[in-house]
Chains A and B, each alone.
Chain A
Amino acid sequence: MTPLTPRAEAISAARDILPLAFGVAVYGAAFGLLAAQAAMTELEVGVMGALVFAGSSQIVAVERMIAGAGAAAAIVAGVALNLRLLLITASVRDIYRDRPWWQIALGAHLATDENWALMLAKRGEGAQAGYWYLVGGGLLIGVTWLVATTAGVAFARMIPEPRAIGMDFAFTAAFIAILRSLFRGRADVVPWAVAIGVVALGQGTGLIPPAWTLIAGGLAGTVVAGLTADD
């Protein structure tokens, strides 16, 4: 099999990510609705989407502003939610190796849950999916997010709630499909169970704040994988 050119790899990613982009569009429109409640303009929403480019943290930060919690609380809530991005870019270190600074900056900025997970799923299936796959998927998600969020502010009154049409479950279902592709066999069972168990325990007992349960679960599973691996 001849290796794909960067362009072909990016285009295949943009094609593969279309179902997820549909989910991003619905959430983008809903975020625009929220931003309109915070009296944000199209310009502010567009700049926020382009520069922050992390949907869930944008939603949380704007919710905090609407609740009157103040700018500092909004920033802290958004940043806490984004700490997982450190694990995301650290976990695909091979794609950034030996690249010029601008490609590292671009590839880091465009890394989101969706295109990162899809890239890994694609690799799990044995396909070529590296730096340009992440960038291609990230660009399509980015354009979708910018169009949907700014349109959401402009046409705030015409947008249905994601939950009313079941779209709040779209990403959960997508990540279940991606987990299926990532499953490598028995070695994954215990680490994944630990990750899920820590999240369930943290959420159930309320001992770990929601922004940290995800990171705690992911790291706990990873540590167990490091301790139990014997190959």
Chain B
Amino acid sequence: MTEPWIVILYLAAATFAIRLTGVYVGQSLPQQGRIARALNALPGCLIAALVAQSLSTGGPAEWTAATVAAATAIATRSLPLTMAAGIAAVLVARAALG
């Protein structure tokens, strides 16, 4: 078997196992109390970490664009407008800041 097929099959099996494990971990954790409250906070923390990770590999242009996107999100609460403002801002900031 060629290299791409080996990678595809193993990566697919492992990824599906990870997704399914998450479902069962979620079902088996307590439904009330401290752990349940912590689990409610997980999505926001994970997305905050995701944004931080992506910005940590960027520079001043990306940080400026993130500020513009955050201001747009707060002002409009609109996903498409925030994406459009962020993309436009990053293009302008990269041209200006190099």
- List the A side residues contacting B39 at CB < 8 Å: 90-91, 93, 222
- List the B side residues contacting A120 at CB < 8 Å: 43
- List the B side residues contacting A107 at CB < 8 Å: 23
Would A90 and B15 be within 8 Å (CB), given that A177-B83, A180-B77 are in contact?
Answer: no
Which residues of A28-65 have CB atoms within 8 Å of chain B's CB atoms?
Answer: 38, 40, 44, 47-48, 51-54, 57-58, 61-62, 65
The reply to whether A167 and B14 form a contact with Cβ atoms under 8 Å apart is no
Interface size on B, residues (CB 8 A): 67
- For A19, give its contact among B50, B83, B94 (CB under 8 Å): B83
Least Cβ distance of A216 to chain B in Å? 8
- For B18, give its contact among A79, A125, A184, A222 (CB under 8 Å): A79
Interface size on A, residues (CB 8 A): 98
Would A172 and B8 be within 8 Å (CB), given that A120-B43, A221-B48 are in contact?
Answer: no
Q: Which residue of A lies closest to B38 (CB)?
A: A226
- For B47, give its contact among A93, A104, A179 (CB under 8 Å): A179
Question: Which DSSP category, helix, strand, loop or mixed, fits chain B's interface?
Answer: helix
Least Cβ distance of A73 to chain B in Å? 10
- For B43, give its contact among A51, A91, A176 (CB under 8 Å): A91
The reply to whether A196 and B88 form a contact with Cβ atoms under 8 Å apart is no
Cα A37 to Cα B18 in complex, Å, equals 28
Least Cβ distance of B20 to chain A in Å? 5
Residue-by-residue, is B84-97 near A (CB-CB < 8 Å gives 1, otherwise 0)? 01111011001000
Would A79 and B54 be within 8 Å (CB), given that A188-B44, A226-B41 are in contact?
Answer: no
The reply to whether B3 and A71 form a contact with Cβ atoms under 8 Å apart is yes
Residue-by-residue, is B56-93 near A (CB-CB < 8 Å gives 1, otherwise 0)? 11000010011001101110011110110111101100
Listed by A's residue number, 6 A-B pairs whose Cβ atoms lie within 8 Å are: A53-B15, A87-B46, A93-B29, A192-B48, A195-B45, A229-B37
